[in-house]
Structure 1
């Protein structure tokens, strides 16, 4: 009852903004394996349209089943995350090396997609986006790649394992300065590239691109009997919630859609002001 009341309250408080619903959720499952997933996206309190996009689906290709999951957290508009939603996975999967050298295909696709964004139109390249992507191959292998501060966290036997690296200006200051940029906490108290962007890697951001990176960090894990669930979320969740706390919440709720909604609700209760987007993938019931 409490969870139902919380979700009703969220729906009453939030409005439809910019043609996209300020709160959305859904779920699905594998047709070949016991994997289920759910997602929840909630618009933050900033005075602009929702800038988070997601992918959550299973596809069949070459007789194989792939689970494709992603969170794209945009800034300065929603055009770049919308472009990533439509194009990034297709660019990865169409690479001829995907089945023999998955990591190389991911790196090449991230680079090619960023190049396409920057060259497409001036308006598209002006904004930017983080990305965290996860590919599940036949319920056996998991590949996670990320650019920016959206994060992937895996639960193995109840223990939270971070599968991505938060790309923050202070941690990559040397790279930024080597490219002629600088890191400043002014204005405000958050480190930003050239005093503007709070992440050190991103898609797009044409005006800052000479000082930014867009190459992903990549991690791979085997899916075994201890693998319980995977959480992908934007920094609207991770700014107010620790990895283990998120895993503990998601493990208590068997329905991954309800788990994703509950994580978003908890982030709101902790006064997260940013857009909150979350995908929960449960590998076993």
Structure 2
């Protein structure tokens, strides 16, 4: 996304004890695979569903002068006699505390909702909002920043549940055509709601619209300083998976800033390996001079 404007950096000299503590925490996070890296890639597949699902991902650190702030989820779980494919892209800003929390806990919070199996849409919305509340209550530990999110849940290879807040996007390839499943939550579109909540939207020459002159999305997790003016309610879509659907792309706006939906679909529709496809998209975004972190998951369906 267009990042929140960063305050001026004030250098400090940590004590030797704080440095040791920081080094120790970094070792622990690395061992638990909680740190983001300049490049992260991989693939996997469902094992139990009759309709097989395969996925591949590729994440690349941007050139905007900060450490990697994107995280992803791509895994399968067996819950309540169903196989679930869980996929997400979290695009952070002002630090990686919020997206790293989301990586580890958002899907747990969704699946813990009592109504998930009877009403997934309600469960997803409730979990997004309750997760945001937890993040804000723990802002001293997680940091003042925030994150957008796009999440996908594939149930038994038959049903696709997509949700998002912010400008990370899900685009479905259906009979070769691009079908955007998410909503880009841009501040000027939600100006009325923001102003009713006491905020304002700036639109300055040469810049994108921003909430209170800071954040370029109207919905996000976290962002303690803007919490009164942002929404954490996601847009949710349910798509029954059928033979007309080939794959879906989840990606941060580091991709979508430099590539149209149909361009992305056309670029990878003949690439059967989803990891190769995800890498192809991120490589092209870099070639087109995207400076933001670029994160991409490609999920292929075989009905």
Which TM-score applies when normalising by structure 2?
Answer: 0.86
What's 2:134 paired with?
116
Paired residue total: 267
5+ residue gaps in structure 2?
A: 1-34
Give 3-state SS (helix, strand or coil) of 2:136's partner: helix
8 A Cα contact 2:36 2:69, kept in partner: no
Instruction: State how far apart, in whole Å, the 2-side matches of 1:187 and 1:179 are.
Output: 25
For 1:21-100, list aligned pairs within 5 A: 21-32=37-48, 33-100=51-118
8 A Cα contact 1:37 1:256, kept in partner: yes
1:145 alignment partner, one of 145, 155, 163:
163
What is the root-mean-square deviation of aligned Cα atoms in Å? 1.3
Q: 1:193 to 1:187 in 2, by over 3 A?
A: farther
Which TM-score applies when normalising by structure 1?
Answer: 0.91
Q: Give a deviation string over 1:133-159, Cα, whole Å, max 9, x none.
A: 000111111110000000001111111
1:245 alignment partner, one of 263, 276, 283:
263
Rg larger in 1 or in 2? 2
Instruction: State how far apart, in whole Å, the 2-side matches of 1:233 and 1:40 are.
Output: 10
* Superposed displacement of residue 188, structure 1: 4.8
5+ residue gaps in structure 1?
A: 1-18
What's 2:299 paired with?
281
* Superposed displacement of residue 249, structure 1: 1.4
Instruction: State how far apart, in whole Å, the 2-side matches of 1:69 and 1:25 are.
Output: 14
Instruction: State how far apart, in whole Å, the 1-side matches of 2:37 and 2:139 are.
Output: 26
Instruction: State how far apart, in whole Å, the 1-side matches of 2:36 and 2:84 are.
Output: 28
1:207 alignment partner, one of 204, 213, 225:
225
Give 3-state SS (helix, strand or coil) of 1:273's partner: coil
Q: Give a deviation string over 1:10-63, Cα, whole Å, max 9, x none.
A: xxxxxxxxx642011000001024211000000000111100000011111111
8 A Cα contact 2:95 2:143, kept in partner: no
Runs of 4+ in 1 over 4 A off after TM superposition: none
For 1:113-262, list aligned pairs within 5 A: 113-124=131-142, 126-186=144-204, 188-262=206-280
Give 3-state SS (helix, strand or coil) of 1:70's partner: strand
